[in-house]
Chains A and B, each alone.
Chain A
Amino acid sequence: MPIGDIVPEIAVLITAAVILLGASFVDQRRQWLGAPLALVGLAVAAGLCSAQLAEIPRLTFSGVWALDGASIWARLFILATAAIAVTLTPEWLHRDRRHGEYYTMLLLSTLGAMALAGAADTLELVVGVLLSSVTGYTLAAYHRGWALSVEAGMKYFLLGALTNTLLMIGVTLLFGLFGTTDYAALAAATAAPVQGMTLLALALIVVGVAFKLAAVPAHAWMPDVAEGAPPPAAAFLTIAPKIGAAIALARILSVFPAETIAWRPLIAALAVATMTLGNLGALGQNDVRRLLGWSSVSQSGYALMAVTVIGLSERALPALLFFLAGYAVANLAAFAVVTQLRGRTDLAHYRGLAGERPLISAVLVLSFLSLVGIPPLAGFVGKLTLFVATIDAGYAWLAVVAVINTVVSLVYYLRVLAPMYFHESPAPVAILGRWATSGLVTASLLIVALGIGAENLLAALGYASLLP
């Protein structure tokens, strides 16, 4: 077995195990030590992962695991997301009796998202979805004494149980039709004219992955999780599974020939539905976390634009990856702000924040403007590359829909930002502490750096490939 090909994953797994063991013995006040330990593990994994960039893209473990640009970059983004989510945690959970295990759960969830990004086999895909889901439910319901958190976990679980089943039916059908679970073999088999059953199988798989992506029709859990999960967990859950799922979806779709199975219009329709529904859902929200959840749904819709044209334009894959990175840092910054403000979530409580907490307010401005796509921030370059790729591939109408949606999204982001600056502050604002500050600062610096220094990442992503 080529164990060397999965050393990053092994590093994460070992760290998770070490933390779990440690947490069982260390007393409650020192449970925070799990955070630096997790950071070290993630850093080692990231180092090992970036070493894979130098290798020639290939499939390994008998073709179930992809080591190509898409997989490596997505896993790097997932690791970075997890690291920033870890920095938000220690102060938030320091009174929680199960503080230490939280990091284990987070690392295992990271592993699930990474498996999604690398899956080149339908069963591997199922493993990734399941691992990411099971840990996700736990993270969402981590505050088990708080009804909203439990409700979030419950909804997440119910929807997950349904869509995971659909995914497995799809995978089974596909296996029945073609006698293989391997992407490369599937690609060869589906080149011949296909039956209607194949389309059904593919549709079921798309729904299953859409659940992880929080895209229509399996998006309903996202606002609840964003609202009810502990904010550091929400930061992770709104981003990491999405990165993995976007790559997983792009990978399995490119297996099927778009000429015989018309999946491009299907994904385009899902993209439109997702971004529109997400934006409409966010418009009336008076709860900032819920608003972030809906906005996260709409951002999945934009990501689906790149998936729609994957393989049609060579710019699609770099655009997808860059967009995901830009989305990740902006969303992390937003949740870092919520965490730093001790979870404050009522829109009315953000009035006049700028007077009391100018720097935190500025970070939220950066984050939201980046999510809208105001230059020269990360989100702008992300949307720019997305638009370039979609128009390049002849889907200009999709870009027009995205633009209209972007204008709508500006409205709800401004509904939060405007009162922060245009009102006087009502009361002093308590904040969390240094760990959260470090996450906040890192994320906001990355928003600016990825925007102004876009070339560094963009040039590297230009070489990324998508196997098989």
Chain B
Amino acid sequence: MLTATILVPLLGALALAFWPNPGERTCRSLAAAAGTVPLILLLAVWLGFDTAAGAPQFQWVENAPWIPSLGIGWRMGIDGIALAVATMSALLFVVAIAWPADTQGRARSYYAWFLFLEGVSLGVFVTLDLLLFYVFFDLSLVGLFFLIGRWGHGDARRAAFKFFVYTFAGSLAILLAIISLVLATDPLTFDMRELIARQPLAGMDVRAALVLLGFVVGFGIKTPLVPLHTWLPPAHVDAPGPASAILAGVLLKMGTYGLIRIPYSMMSATFSRYALALGVLAVVSILWGALVAMAQRDLKRRIAYTSVNHMGYTVLGIAAAGALLAGDQTARQLALTGATVEMVAHGLITGSLFLISGAFWQRAREYDLQAYGGLARVAPRLTGLTILASFASLGLPGLAGFVAELQIFVGTFGVYPWLAAIGLLGILITAALFLQMLQQLFFGDLPRRWADFSDLGRVEVGALTVMGLLIVAIGIYPAWLLTLIDHASALLTGGGG
């Protein structure tokens, strides 16, 4: 089942790559079909997932040998956290593929790369083998590199370059950390469940600290945490809208998901010792991301920096959850669940916002906020959906972002009250910057050049509505999502589950 979620999109990509001269529509339908299969499969997995107390953390496990001499295998399996993030990612991929994009006459390779990216991105979340995790993690860079470089605009090649080199440095840091972690086992095994059970670096102070540093640097680049975030704004600004949505919605999650899955779970003693430092780093990201976002005049740059801010909340939640090995279990579980909900919410919300900014670019070739105004009159659908996504992003109660941030902050207050208090400032600034952005875009006088600004089309409205409905659903009735995530986070914070 989980293997199929990876292989179907990859086979789809292969089919497209070798299909002689299909039309643009054929490509898109095939990509949409192959891209939807994983979503359906993951929903089925979700329905069959046992969240009862005492159920194992990882379910739907599959095992096949790959390189036994190094202890590497094709190991698949999923827990509540991974399932929530993976399902959100699969949905985002379907939406991004369906989104009417300007493929510049190269539809075949555009959709092939998208399917490739979908397969390997989902692979990151559903694998239980540390090396396979790295394999998929690395391949996602290759996929996005080509998507940004070929279909981006502005200085896309430079942005793609910077993105690849910068994040590849991060993955290599992770690779070294993985090897050092795994070498402490004998015989070698890359099986995540084994590694979680054995805690191989327990009691090795210096080495464990260095390994943790490798993981934090690697995942910190991907997340991104200040000061490792400088690759993100150019990559976002110059990427095509759907690729931006995937970058923000899916690839950034690999950083925070990796933090939970590897250092948090496999070296919890070391993680708890340095959790405070990580929490401080997260708060710096929250404030820095918000402040810098506020100063941006460019629509996409502004949203990109709010990603830094939001991912800061997630890392804060993870740090709080990992702060202690025992005690304060309720608070820590709340923080971890909140961090995961934030991942899902951020994927949906920021994914929508980037798709919307893609729509702006397609219509106007302009990201400068100052150039716009009064669009509410000519584009009511665009206005409504943007307002929904922005309000969700600034944490309005009743929408997904609020649920996530509330849990993170309540949980963090139980562990690091001061950090939580400072972090709250971030929410204030985000509110201000989104309101100011909405005001600038949609209200006031309509400049004459935008008099014939066309509203969103049918597909665009449909795609954004699906995401919007989910944002509202999580905001109003989050229980269906929380039950799933709590099952994992209870186990991960030492609770009964």
Contacts and interface: CB of A to CB of B under 8 A. Distances in A.
A387 B164 contact: no
Interface stretch (B65-73, B92-100, B283-291, B403-411): B65-73
A454 interface: yes
Contact of A421 (B67, B70, B150, B176): B150
A410 to B, nearest CB: 6
Interface string B169-208: 1001101100110010000100000000000000000000
Interface stretch (A6-14, A169-177, A369-377, A438-446): A369-377
Contacts of A422: 149-150, 156-157, 160
Contacts of A418: 149, 157, 160-161
Given A375-B139, A376-B135, A422-B157, A399 B176 contact: yes
A388 interface: yes
A407 B142 contact: no
A400 interface: yes
A462 B69 contact: yes
A369 B135 contact: no
Contacts of B149: 418, 421-422
A196 to B, nearest CB: 36
B450 interface: no
B413 interface: no
A403 interface: yes
A407 B176 contact: no
Contacts of B65: 455
B138 interface: yes
Given A387-B179, A455-B69, A458-B67, A407 B157 contact: no
Nearest to A423: B157
B183 A391 contact: yes
Interface string B138-175: 11001000100110000011001100110011001101
Interface string A376-387: 100011001101
B161 A400 contact: no
Interface string B386-417: 00000000000000000000000000000000
B125 to A, nearest CB: 17
B134 interface: yes
Interface in B88-147: 131, 134-135, 138-139, 142, 146
A387 B164 CA distance: 22
Contact of B138 (A375, A396, A400): A375
B161 A403 contact: no
Interface in A449-464: 454-455, 458-459, 462
B165 A414 contact: yes
B69 A459 contact: yes
Main secondary structure of the interface of A (DSSP, over half): helix
A403 B183 contact: no
Contact of B164 (A385, A410, A459): A410
Interface in A394-419: 396, 399-400, 403, 406-407, 410-411, 414, 418
A403 B173 contact: yes
A464 to B, nearest CB: 12
B139 A414 contact: no
A392 interface: yes
B1 to A, nearest CB: 22
B136 to A, nearest CB: 8
Given A403-B172, A422-B156, A422-B157, A414 B146 contact: no
A400 B176 contact: yes
Interface in B41-71: 65-70
Contact of A410 (B70, B146, B168): B168
Interface in A345-392: 369, 372, 374-376, 380-381, 384-385, 387-388, 391-392
A374 B143 CA distance: 12
Contact of A387 (B139, B157, B173, B175): B175
Given A391-B176, A410-B165, A455 B183 contact: no
Contacts of A455: 65-69
A403 B176 contact: yes
B190 to A, nearest CB: 11
A399 B157 CA distance: 30
Given A414-B165, A418-B149, A385 B176 contact: no
Given A385-B70, A403-B173, A391 B168 contact: no
Contacts of B175: 384, 387, 403
Given A403-B175, A411-B165, A374 B139 contact: yes
Interface in A153-182: none
A392 B183 contact: yes
Contact of A407 (B131, B172, B188): B172
Contacts of A414: 161, 164-165
B183 A388 contact: yes
A277 B70 CA distance: 31
Contacts of B150: 421-422
Given A374-B142, A410-B168, A421-B146, A388 B135 contact: no
A369 to B, nearest CB: 7
Contact of B67 (A369, A381, A403, A406): A381
Nearest to B136: A375
B319 to A, nearest CB: 26
A406 B172 contact: yes
A396 B165 contact: no
Nearest to A318: B69
Nearest to B156: A422
B7 to A, nearest CB: 13
Most buried by A among B70, B142, B149: B70
B67 A454 contact: yes
A374 B138 contact: yes
A134 to B, nearest CB: 39
Interface of B: 65-70, 131, 134-135, 138-139, 142, 146, 149-150, 156-157, 160-161, 164-165, 168-169, 172-173, 175-176, 179-180, 183, 188
13 contacts: A374-B139, A374-B142, A375-B138, A376-B135, A384-B131, A391-B179, A391-B180, A391-B183, A403-B176, A418-B149, A418-B160, A422-B160, A455-B68
Interface of A: 369, 372, 374-376, 380-381, 384-385, 387-388, 391-392, 396, 399-400, 403, 406-407, 410-411, 414, 418, 421-422, 454-455, 458-459, 462
Given A403-B175, A418-B157, 13 more contacts: A374-B138, A384-B175, A384-B179, A387-B176, A396-B176, A406-B172, A414-B165, A418-B149, A455-B65, A455-B66, A458-B67, A459-B68, A459-B69
List 8 tightest A-B contacts by C-beta distance, closest first.
A375-B135, A403-B172, A407-B169, A455-B67, A422-B149, A458-B69, A422-B157, A459-B69
